[in-house]
Amino acid sequence: MTQGFKKEIVRHIFRNLLDIMVLKLVRADPMWGYKMIKIVEEKYGIKLRHGALYPLLNNLERKGFLRSKKETKRGRVRKIYEITSKGIQLMDAYNEFLREQI
């Protein structure tokens, strides 16, 4: 019954609430952009385009919801993002509102 909409719902959410989903991912576990793409692909079957994700990440950092530090692991330079207290406040308020509404 409900599973018929699953795919379009997941698509809808990653189209419209990508910023929220990114904050959620980073909050659960600090990580870098490339890893998000892999996780989202295997968990949800959605291919995030890095051409959209990286500018979004930089944007979220500029607005103070995320902070990043560069980490070099086996020669690979990664930008590890973690959520800021401002980001946590935003998410909590967002979740609260969604729960009330839905």
Partner DNA sequence: CGTAAAATGTCCGAAACGTGACATATATGA
Partner DNA sequence: TCATATATGTCACGTTTCGGACATTTTACG
Task: Catalog residues that contact a second copy under the rule CB under 8 A.
Answer: 1-6, 9-10, 12-13, 16-17, 20-21, 24, 89-90, 92-99, 101-102
Strand partners, 70: 79
Which is nearer to a second copy, 12 or 50 (by Cβ)? Answer: 12
81 to 30, 34, 57, 62, 100: CA distances (angstroms): 6, 11, 8, 12, 29
35 binds, among DNA, a second copy, none (CB under 5 to 8 A by kind): DNA
Nearer to a second copy by C-beta: 12 or 69?
Answer: 12
Q: Which residue has the tokens 């909590």?
A: 92
Q: Which residues bind DNA (CB under 7 A)?
A: 15, 18, 32-35, 38, 49-52, 54-55, 57-58, 73-80
Separation of alpha carbons 55 and 93, rounded Å:
24
